[in-house]
């Protein structure tokens, strides 16, 4: 061990700074340093001399402090340079969202009309240029002494005689202020007040939902199934009706193994369980891999079938509708549906199906989702906050108090009779799950949500995948609202249920929420910086959103440190949600866009390559040379996939709004509006990060 030396004061009291130096031949290194205390620099009048360290020791302290400061500055500078370099590389390799992705026909993707897509961006861009011009105008006026804010506006100065005007600029600016006061501020203030009212109504709805969730927890309200009779086949006491399990999938070779394995391991009598693998893949390699996996489970005794449609119309709804038309479906009483990335636990059916016993008006039992990659990156953490609130608060409260909520499309068990009475699966919207739930509710069927039954799945890890998923989830409800409104009005359900469907379920939570969120924080707030006569109160900008974010984060308490990023990101996502809502409401080009959410397969324990290495099992109608050729094709495809490069996608609308908000924040400095400035600044930075695609994983 290297020798160490220390300098200490000879006196009993501590004077000076202890320094421990460790010598490691041939170099010296400082390993411990205590900063100088105030006593070290005090002058003792009684002794008439300086009570401090000697000159050599004081020089050591100063040198070490300077070395430490220089090291911090150097590391900070290198970190900033590294961050800038990473941003530059990711931006250079990025593509804008105006680029057209060329995909083979039949992949199940509807390409958005470029003219329709560019309209929204054009409006934002024009607003940005206008704000930049106004900012320059306001800065010039500020340095000329025109410090006008709405509380201290001196109109009598503006109505002064022409002799009071000292120049052309002063005259132009005075006219601009008068136009603001007379023509622009009143309609903007009216729109601001309307959005505040909508904001308060939505906040009240959110608060009532949270109180309902608290009441459920306090009273420990929980659906309890009834006991069943003894089943001789399983040797257990329970309720074991005929159950059909469906797994619709489309080109999802990253996750098919885990879902098939999970449903084949469901603890249910085999004679009363049939599994349908509904494969809509148009990739021959993916089809082959799924067929091989299904055949493997058939050899192991699972009652499983593989179905592939020749005519692939209607996306997921068309796939489910085709499967329900099979003749053998009439022998089954219930159907459980799982997406390709979902992994139900073996006891899933035992914990869900018994709720149907002696409950003839129950049409759906929905389980909660849990996420295997919720801590993968910032994007997945923020999604987990949103979905935790959706399931634990929205779904659970609506289930307990009104027996209705939107079907989540997966991890649920339907009574087949309820599906048939509601009209079956329809391909008229991109939210077929919500569509069938609304129609079943109009026919009097009740729903149950089980918060304690979880089914694992994946969250989108890239912003590109999440953005497209949210577009579909927010455009579809508006399509459905237009189609279902006449049926809701004419239905025989009670007035209260009609009010809940029209006002709460559709208008408030699907239309008003994205509308006011985008309009209030992305349009009105920046405009009030340039038209200060229309005021947006500080409590609307800061306190209420913070309170609502706090309520949203309660179901996921571990995510509490992310409350500020969550608030900013939700406002950032309002652009996508508002655009989707408008597209669905007015049936614009992107309203029927359907993109299968990209999966990473992180939770899959299977290795796709192992399927290729296995000895092929001879099947009827498949020759050995065909399998060899298919293996070679799989190998080549994997090689091509390994050569794919990941890139960023640059989102022009988000970037335009980022610069707009940053411009408005600069304007707010002139009015010394602290809360507004900080909100606009951080919200602009949030838009900038999202616009540069720096929040999630890169896409291939």
Active site residues: 280, 433
Alpha carbons 188 and 155: distance in angstroms, whole number:
19
The separation between CA 322 and the C-alpha centre of its own chain, rounded to angstroms, equals 32
Residue 671 tokens, joined: 């009015």
Assess contact for 124 and 653: CB atoms under 8 A.
Answer: yes
Residue holding tokens 């800065």? Answer: 139
Alpha carbons 259 and 341: distance in angstroms, whole number:
6
Assess contact for 575 and 518: CB atoms under 8 A.
Answer: yes
Exposed / middle / buried, residue 101 (Cβ in 10 Å: 0-12, 13-18, 19+): exposed
Nearest 5°: phi and psi at 515? -65, -55
Residue holding tokens 């495809």? Answer: 637
Residue 267 tokens, joined: 């603890």
Query: How many C-alpha atoms does 51 have within 13 Å on its Cβ side?
Result: 17
- Continuous segment of H or E residues that includes residue 50: strand 49-50
Query: How many C-alpha atoms does 72 have within 13 Å on its Cβ side?
Result: 5
Three-state secondary-structure class, residue 237: strand
Nearest 5°: phi and psi at 171? -65, -45
Query: How many C-alpha atoms does 357 have within 13 Å on its Cβ side?
Result: 19
User: CA 240, 244, 245, 247: dihedral to nearest 10 degrees?
Assistant: -170
- H helices of 220-340, in order, are 256-264, 284-299, 315-324
The separation between CA 520 and the C-alpha centre of its own chain, rounded to angstroms, equals 20
Alpha carbons 680 and 663: distance in angstroms, whole number:
9
Closest to 342 measured CA to CA, from 609, 599, 697 = 599
The helix-helix angle for 652-670 and 563-586 (nearest 10°) equals 120
Q: List CB contacts of 321: < 8 A, sequence separation 6 or more.
A: 314, 424, 425, 426, 427
Residues in the chain: 700
| Helices and strands of the chain, counted as H and E runs | 24, 16
Assess contact for 449 and 362: CB atoms under 8 A.
Answer: no
Three-state secondary-structure class, residue 59: helix
Detail the DSSP E strand segments found in 152-221: none
């Amino acid at each position: 061990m290297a020798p160490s030396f220390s300098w200490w004061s000879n006196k009993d009291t501590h004077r000076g700074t202890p320094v421990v130096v460790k010598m490691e031949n041939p170099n010296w290194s400082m390993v411990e340093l205590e900063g100088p205390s105030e006593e070290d620099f005090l002058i003792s009048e009684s002794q008439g001399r300086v009570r401090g360290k000697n000159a050599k020791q004081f020089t050591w302290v100063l040198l070490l402090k300077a070395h430490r400061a220089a090291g911090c500055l150097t590391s900070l500078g290198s970190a900033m340079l590294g961050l800038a370099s990473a941003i530059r590389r990711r931006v250079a390799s990025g593509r804008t969202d105006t680029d057209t992705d060329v995909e083979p026909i039949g992949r199940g993707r509807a390409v958005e009309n470029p003219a329709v897509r560019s309209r929204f961006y054009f409006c934002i861009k024009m607003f940005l240029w206008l704000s930049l011009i106004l900012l320059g105008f306001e800065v010039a006026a500020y340095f000329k002494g025109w410090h006008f804010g709405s509380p201290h506006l001196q109109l009598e100065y503006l109505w002064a005689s022409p002799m009071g005007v000292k120049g052309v600029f002063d005259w132009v600016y005075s006219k601009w202020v008068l136009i603001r006061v007379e023509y622009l501020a009143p309609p903007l203030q009216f729109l601001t007040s309307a959005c505040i009212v909508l904001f308060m109504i939505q906040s009240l709805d959110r608060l009532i939902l949270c109180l309902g969730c608290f009441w459920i927890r306090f009273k420990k309200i929980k659906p309890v199934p009834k006991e069943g009779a003894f089943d001789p086949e399983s040797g257990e006491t329970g309720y074991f009706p005929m159950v059909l399990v469906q797994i619709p999938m489309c080109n999802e070779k990253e996750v098919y193994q885990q879902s098939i394995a999970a449903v084949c391991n469901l603890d249910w009598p085999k004679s009363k369980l049939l599994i349908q693998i509904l494969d809509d893949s148009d990739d021959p390699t993916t089809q082959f891999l799924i067929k091989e996996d299904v055949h493997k489970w058939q050899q192991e005794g699972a009652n499983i079938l593989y179905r592939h449609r020749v005519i692939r119309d209607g996306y997921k709804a068309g796939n489910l509708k085709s499967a329900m038309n099979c003749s053998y479906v009439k022998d089954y009483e219930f159907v459980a549906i799982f997406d390709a990335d979902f992994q139900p636990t073996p006891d899933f059916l035992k914990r869900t199906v018994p709720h149907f016993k002696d409950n003839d008006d129950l049409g759906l039992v929905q389980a909660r989702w849990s996420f295997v990659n919720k801590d993968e990156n910032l994007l997945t953490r923020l999604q987990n906050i949103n979905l935790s609130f959706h399931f634990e608060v929205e779904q659970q409260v609506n289930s307990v108090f009104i027996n209705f909520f939107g079907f989540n499309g997966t991890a649920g068990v339907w009574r087949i009779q309820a599906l048939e009475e509601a009209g079956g699966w329809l391909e008229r919207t991109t939210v077929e799950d919500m569509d069938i739930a609304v129609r079943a509710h109009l026919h009097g069927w009740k729903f149950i949500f089980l918060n304690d039954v979880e089914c694992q799945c994946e969250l989108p890890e890239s912003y590109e995948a999440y953005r497209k998923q949210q577009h579909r989830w927010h455009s579809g409800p508006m399509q459905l609202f237009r189609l279902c409104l006449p049926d809701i009005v004419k239905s025989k359900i009670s007035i209260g249920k009609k009010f809940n469907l029209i006002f709460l379920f559709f208008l408030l939570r699907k239309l008003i929420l994205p509308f006011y969120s985008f309009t209030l924080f992305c349009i009105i707030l920046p405009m009030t910086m340039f038209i200060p006569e229309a005021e947006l109160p500080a409590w609307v900008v800061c306190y209420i959103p913070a309170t609502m974010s706090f309520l949203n984060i309660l179901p996921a308490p571990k995510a509490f440190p992310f409350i500020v990023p969550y608030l900013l990101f939700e406002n950032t996502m309002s652009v996508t949600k508002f655009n989707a809502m408008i597209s669905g409401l007015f049936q614009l080009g992107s309203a029927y866009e359907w993109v299968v959410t990209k999966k990473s397969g992180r939770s899959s324990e299977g290795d796709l390559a192992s399927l290729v290495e296995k000895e092929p099992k001879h099947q009827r109608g498949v020759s050995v040379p065909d399998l060899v050729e298919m293996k070679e094709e799989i190998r080549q495809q994997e090689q091509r996939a390994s050569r794919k490069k990941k890139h960023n996608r640059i989102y022009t609308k988000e970037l335009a709004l980022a610069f707009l908000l940053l411009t408005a924040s600069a304007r707010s400095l002139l009015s010394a509006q602290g809360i507004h400035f900080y909100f606009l600044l951080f919200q602009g930075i949030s838009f900038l990060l999202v616009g540069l695609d720096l929040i999630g994983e890169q896409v291939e």
